[in-house]
Amino acid sequence: MNVFKINGKARLSGNVRLHGAKNSALPILAAAILVKGECVIHNCPDLSDVRTTVKILESLGCTVKRDGDTLAVNAENIVSSDIDEQMMRTMRSSIIFLGSLVSRTGKASIFYPGGCEIGTRPVDLHLKALKSLGASFCENGSSIACTASEIRGAKIILPFPSVGATENIIIASAISKGTTTIINPAREPEICDLADFLNNCGARIYGAGETTIEIDGVERLHPCEHRIIPDRILASTYMSAAAITGSEIIIDDIKPTHLAPVFPVFTEMGCKIYLQGNSLKIQAPKRLGRVRMIKTMPFPGFPTDSHSPVVAALTTARGTSLLQENIFENRFRYVSELNRFGADIQVNDKIAVINGVKHLHGANVNATDLRGGAALVVAALGAEGASTINYIHHIDRGYERLEENFSNLGADIKRINNEEEKNYKKIITKDSK
Ligand code: UD1
């Protein structure tokens, strides 16, 4: 098991470049199986979730080659429509293969993704939408078998703008008979990226990012080259780290419009943000100010995935900040770990009350989920003394070489494995004698 060792309080400086968005890469890779030929996908981050997606693609018959941050996915021959239970459990978002498999092969057999670290994650909206498009389901409690002789366009009203359900509908109906209309779709930038990818392949998807999406089904798609958008959640993680350490850093390859929902929160903290083209400079004050209230909402609201790193930054702000989590009910599990640094956060149902303290101290903590894990890194960077973060496989799901990037910014952070951890302890004990 790897852990992060962090000595906090180093001032960060310099430039860091964002990698491609995990939440774009996963649906785009799943959508690539609609194309009989080789799609070339650039800026595809090397994350454990992406590696799992690649394994799923290979198990279905695709060949996938990585060259740096470019993945070439050839889905000429699909030999299976089944996703293994273990892979489904490793990555719950593999539900996104439902729409692409049923469209490409007329059937799909998957396991329920089940609950996860941040909530129950039901898939009712995915299934209902695919039924409207002509799919039938046979469910047995743990698995779902889906068949469709053809995908027919339909009008689908989503009661909640689910990101995954919107993606499944777009993917399933790209090749279909007739027109599909999605009312109240998710409007996240990753939805636009998926639509751009499919449109580059010859699909006819209109209105991605707006309140209604229309998809005129086409007969087939052709291969294309596509560049994944930069990861806006990674950007807000770096911004949180700069904020808690009172630093000035430059984040390159950003899309300002994707980050618009988080800017007001950082400016309310007292950070100055300067935009120049696709770069952002954040300049944090010595001590952050509190933020009255943050409410997580679907895009263009404040992203739920940015919630945890931002709360970590607010632990040392002057005054009391409030955050209301409206998307995932279980997203506060990392809070008790944050409090081990000396933070003072109380959670009441959907609301976290963050009473700013003057200093955090180093702590030995466990990452509970991907973004909660990133919050612990942010806290450790701002804490006085040494911290250990365990279970960092959660963090590796969404952050590529996080330790290297923070080191380049001047942080004292190391990834060490079990063996090194034992030696490290020996050295520390010897030195302290
Ligand atoms: C995606 C992102 C995740 C992000 C989330 C919200 C990926 C791989 N993951 O997750 O990082 O936090 O969007 O921005 O892109 N819901 C239902 N029924 C359904 C589907 C969803 O009740 O059939 C509920 C969920 O339980 C949750 C809410 O809707 O409370 C949002 O879920 P959704 O937008 O679907 O998120 P994901 O696509 O799972």
**Concatenated DSSP letters for 41-80?**
EES----HHHHHHHHHHHHHT-EEEEETTEEEEE-S----
Scanning 296-400, the segments in alpha helix (DSSP H) are: 304-314, 335-339, 370-382, 393-396
The answer for residues whose C-beta is within 8 angstroms of residue 8's C-beta and 6 or more apart is 245, 360, 362, 380, 381, 382, 383, 384, 385, 386, 387, 412
Is 62 a known active-site residue?
no
Helix ranges (DSSP H) in 318-359: 335-339
Mean per-residue pLDDT of the chain: 94
From the CA of 115, how far away is ligand 1's center (Å)? 12
State residue 321's pLDDT score. 98
- Provide the β-strand partners of residue 177: 152
For residue 193 the two structure tokens come to 């990226």
Residue 95 has φ and ψ, to the nearest 5°, of -55, -20
Ligand 1 within 6 A of CB of 25: no
393 pLDDT more than 70: yes
Closest atom, ligand 1, to C-alpha of 233: 11
Ligand 1 pocket member 281 (CB < 6 A): no
Tokens of 14: 């310099």
Q: Residue 115 pLDDT more than 60?
A: no
Name the token pair of 250.
């430059």
Burial class (CB in 10 A: 0-12, 13-18, 19+), 14: exposed
In which band, very low, low, confident or very high, does the pLDDT at 87 lie, cut at 50, 70 and 90? Answer: confident
Distance between CA 113 and CA 104 in Å, rounded?
21
Nearest CA to ligand 1 atom 11: 305
Sign of CA dihedral 291, 296, 302, 308: positive
Distance 288 CA to ligand 1 centre (A): 31
Q: Cα-flanking dihedrals φ and ψ of residue 180, to 5°? A: -110, 135
Q: Which helix (H) or strand (E) holds 413?
A: strand 412-416
The three-class DSSP label of residue 184 is coil
Mean pLDDT of 186-199: 98
Q: Report which protein residue has its CA nearest ligand 1's atom 7.
A: 23
Residue 327 pLDDT exceeds 60? yes
285 and 246 in contact (C-beta within 8 Å)?
yes
Mean pLDDT score, 211-229: 98
Report strand pairing: 386-390 vs 364-366: parallel
Tell me the pTM. Answer: 0.95
264 prior amide bond cis, ω within 30? no
Does the beta carbon of 26 sit less than 6 angstroms from any atom of ligand 1? yes
Which residue, 143, 141, 124, is CA-closest to 81?
143
26, 52, 121, 231, best to mutate for ligand 1 pocket (most atoms within 8 Å of CB): 121
**Number of separate helices (H) and strands (E) present in the chain:** 16, 23
Cβ of 304 less than 6 Å from ligand 1:
yes
Give the sheet arrangement for strand 107-111, strand by strand.
107-111, 143-147, 136-139
The beta-strand segments (E) located in 88-154 are: 107-111, 136-139, 143-147
Closest CA to 169 of 202, 218, 137, 205: 205
- Average pLDDT on 53-73 reads 97
Sign for the pseudo-dihedral over CA of 260, 261, 262, 264: positive
**pLDDT > 90? residue 418:** no
> Cα–Cα distance between 247 and 290 in angstroms, integer?
17
Of residues 116, 146, 192, 224, which has the active-site annotation? 116
How would you label 305-323 residue by residue, b for 16+ Cβ within 10 Å and e otherwise?
A: bbbbbbbbbbbbbeeebeb
Q: Which residues are within 8 A (CB) of 234 and not within 5 positions of it... i.e. 6 or more apart?
A: 18, 19, 21, 398, 399
Helix (H, G, I), strand (E, B) or coil at 181: strand
Of 244, 196, 246, 212, give the one whose Cα is nearest residue 204. Answer: 196
DSSP 8-state symbol, 410 = T
Q: Is the pLDDT of residue 425 over 80?
A: no
Q: Mean pLDDT, to the nearest integer, of 246-270?
A: 98
Residue 254: its pLDDT value, please?
A: 97
User: 69 and 45 in contact (C-beta within 8 Å)?
Assistant: yes
The stretch 266-281 carries a mean pLDDT of: 97
Amino acid 91: pLDDT = 82
